[in-house]
Structure 1
Amino acid sequence: MNISKFFKKKPVLIVLFTFSVNLFCAQTNTINELDKIDHTIGNQSLPYLNGKLHLNYDNTIEENNHRYFDKNQFVTGDIVYTGDNYSGLQLKYDIKEDVLVCLPDQENNYIKVNLISEYVNAFSLGNKKFINLTNDLKSKSKKGFYEKRFESKNVILYIKHFKNAQETFKNNRKQIEYFYNKEHVIYAKGTYFSFETERDLIEIFPEMKTEIKNYYEKNQKLEKDNKTEFVLAFLKSLK
């Protein structure tokens, strides 16, 4: 067959074939985009995604100075939301505002949602576990989420992580610097106690006053350098 004559006689077939291929590709791309949108909407319709969008316009003094717990990155974690478990979520914890942030769809990482704190019973970030103690603590303790650092038969050690922001000016520009801090709460004898001083520890365990005083005398440097490890070692020694 003469190929040139074939194309001259049947140009309409070539046009129709080309049009069909292009139409098929366009339809395939449209379906893929619709799948992505449907996936995103499906995720965002979950009960725990009813909070406000998370916005962060901080101009901080340096990249690793930020408002979040540990790293300014989403990590895989789990939540207990109004008593229901949700696992394998992308989360990070804003410890300036004490709010858990969720990334519903990793492909659309510009959408971040603040989970409604009062409905978040507990959550985990990697191997760190946090509990909402708002309804359990005395008035002098900070409300919100506490890391459960240690648990034994008789005591639990909780840590409240938080950051305070301070405005500074550099090169005529306003910047923010964050300062990390923490507080400790000990659950013992059916009660939550704030702990920061020797007197606090004696108030929790008055029957161990002598042992506590001796412990403070022998571990002054550890108390000064790392109060969490200081009290953790003491609690682990309890029988």
Structure 2
Amino acid sequence: MSTRRERAIIAGRMLDEAFPEVGLPLDFRDPYSLLIATVLSAQCTDTRVNKVMPGVLCEASTPAQMVRLGEDRIRELIRTCGLANRKARSIHRLSQTLLKRHGGEVPRTFEALEALPGIGHKSASVVMAMAFGEPAFPVDTHIHRLAQRWGLTDGRSVEQTEKDLKNLFPREEWLRRHLQLIYYGRAYCSARGCDGRTCPICRSCFPGRKKPFRARKA
């Protein structure tokens, strides 16, 4: 039986082989546009968000412009991303908060980002890593599932999964591993496409697994 760290080495090697170069899945111009994109990405594909964002930024590319735009117009612009009412409210309110508390700038700390309306720890991690280059390992439900299938965490919570992945991979690899996990999950280890015995990494980490693996939900 391999150890968790041995499985991390196997997974890391195979991720590098499958995706030696990874681009950022969300298109953005600056930290503010990335912040908006992360709000829109909740229960929505990155492809859809990337199609919607140019129209949004054409009308409002700064917090001040977004506040003047108003919730109703924001809702119209983002309606195809789903959950439009909630997301429009969050975008409007977080833009107001940026103006009131941060001079219209996106803050560069986890604490300040997570205090913004509609921004949780995962979204804050995305902004810190992708916009500011700070070490972060964003964990969503998909990464939470993969880490369990590969035996890199026990899956007690998303928070525990993030902690375990950070312990297994060097800080300088965190963003790359996050992106590789996203792309690998979509291509080889999706919720319906692999039951813990199908994809190459699942088979390599647990060659003797006989029954379908049921991951804990986030």
In the superposition, the TM-score normalised over structure 2's length comes to 0.24
Q: Which has the higher contact order (CA 8 A, sep 6+)?
A: 2
- Give 1 or 2 for the bigger CA radius of gyration: 1
Larger strand percent:
1
In the superposition, the TM-score normalised over structure 1's length comes to 0.22
